[in-house]
Amino acid sequence: MQLTDDGKLRHFLSLEHLSRPLLEDILDTAAGFVDVGGRAIKKVPLLRGKTVVNLFFESSTRTRSTFELAAKRLSADVLTLDIAKSATSKGETLLDTLRNLEAMAADMFVVRHQDSGAPFFIAEQVTPRVAVINAGDGRHAHPTQAMLDMYTIRHYKGGFEGLKVAIVGDILHSRVARSQIHALNILGAEEVRVIAPRTLLPADADALGATVFTDMVQGIEDVDVVIMLRLQKERMDSALLPSEGEFFRLYGLTNEKLCHAKPDAIVMHPGPINRGVEIASEVADGPRSVILNQVTFGIAVRMAVMSMAISGQESLAAAQAAREESGHGH
């Protein structure tokens, strides 16, 4: 569903079942866009004449603004609908919204939704000429965040072979963690570890493709990359933690705990950061933190995904036109 017949990206919904060459292609394409932000005119004409609609059913600052910037740097027309506070659900009202947007000749929907699977539902319903990008759905996936994290790791570590990566914190509610684990395994990391208290681990933690640790010090022993996750209090139905202070004592990243990782280990965080809850300010602002660089790389990665998906849609349309043409020829 995500790929055209010739293997090009059509939608970008999840990293599951995508190939290593395709993920590397996204990273390589992003590398060509990183310098655009440093130019006097921060634009390339790849999506000129295209209309990108940001469809955010769930509030977001960082993801929404980087998608907006990415689309504008590709010279697209951008419409952002903040429908987080509306009562739209996965039923008829969502379809009505889509049909109205399609009537405005949109070429791409960037979708964030609180329900897992909503972007897939939308991709199944849209007309064939519209590309759908998942900007985060429920607890399920956040593929562009995972890819900007992969870009960051590759930038600082040169590649993935032999790398040990620890993902720490609220694994249970984190769509980012799921996408990161898929990406790291596809790209050939040596070991992916998840570190969390039992209450913040999914029941199928062992099936995720990661080694599970409940002890922070043991978990980050000798790792190359430490990715801290935010406690997603808005998704917690019950008191899964004794207190934030207790969580920080056991699972918060301090310089003292970081000493157990490799001396050149980098520290990442998809944001927004809760200082003093999952990470100490001394680490977040310290020399091993690459958190702000993740945001910068995020724009380039989203430019790559959007341009590749539009290119895939165009090749799909061209193939369809050729089929119709040959039909008329007979």
Q: Where are the domains of the chain?
A: 20-141+295-329, 143-289
- Give the per-residue pLDDT at 233: 64
- Distance, in Å, from the CA atom of 80 to the CA atom of 306, rounded to the nearest integer, reads 15
- CA 112, CA 135: separation in Å to the nearest integer? 5
Confidence class of residue 239 from pLDDT cuts 50, 70 and 90?
Answer: low
Provide the 10 A C-beta neighbour count for residue 141: 25
Residue of 236 and 66 predicted with greater confidence = 66
Q: Which residues are annotated as a binding site for L-aspartate?
A: 90, 175, 230
pTM: 0.92
Mean pLDDT rounded to a whole number for the chain: 90
What's the pLDDT at 189?
98
Residue 83's pLDDT band, with cuts at 50, 70 and 90, is confident
Contact 98, 53 (CB under 8 A): no
Token pair listed for 154: 């590759």
Assess whether the region 20-141+295-329 and the region 143-289 belong to the same CATH fold: yes
Q: Which residue numbers belong to the known binding site?
A: 62-63, 90, 112, 142, 145, 175, 230, 271-272
**Phi and psi for 155 in degrees, rounded to 5?**
-60, -45
Contact between residue 128 and residue 104 where contact means Cβ atoms under 8 Å apart = no
- Alpha-carbon span 300 to 13, nearest angstrom: 18
Query: Which pLDDT does position 235 carry in this prediction?
Result: 46
Q: Is 229 exposed, middle or buried (0-12, 13-18, 19+ CB in 10 A)?
A: buried
The architecture in CATH of the region 20-141+295-329 reads: 3-Layer(aba) Sandwich (3.40)
Q: How confident is the model at residue 241 (pLDDT cuts 50, 70, 90)?
A: low
With a CB cutoff of 8 Å and minimum separation 6, the contacts of 193 are 164, 165, 166, 167, 210, 211, 212, 213, 219, 220, 223
The predicted structure's pLDDT at residue 260: 98
When pLDDT is averaged across residues 205-221 and rounded to a whole number, the result is 92
User: What value does the mean pLDDT take over residues 149-175?
Assistant: 96
Count of Cβ atoms closer than 10 Å to residue 63 Cβ: 22
Res 88: pLDDT: 57
Q: What is the pLDDT of residues 41-74, one digit of tens each?
A: 999 999 999 999 999 988 888 899 999 999 999 9
Task: Judge: domain 143-289, CATH 3.40.50.1370.
Answer: yes
Task: Identify which of 88-92, 113-117, 301-305 has the greatest average pLDDT.
Answer: 301-305
Beta-carbon count within 10 A of 267 CB: 20
Mean pLDDT of all residues in 150-164:
98
84, burial (CB in 10 Å: exposed 0-12, middle 13-18, buried 19+): middle
Residue numbers in the known binding site for carbamoyl phosphate are: 62-63, 112, 142, 145, 271-272
Q: Is 161 helix (H, G, I), strand (E, B) or coil?
A: coil
Query: For position 327, what pLDDT does the model report?
Result: 75
Q: What pLDDT was estimated at residue 286?
A: 97
Q: Where are the beta strands (DSSP E) in 97-245?
A: 108-113, 131-137, 164-168, 191-195, 211-213, 225-228
DSSP 8-state code for residue 12: B
Distance between CA atoms of 4 and 126, rounded to whole angstroms?
15
Report whether the peptide linkage leading into residue 263 is cis, meaning its omega lies within 30 degrees of zero: no
How far, in Å, CA of 201 to CA of 173, rounded?
A: 8
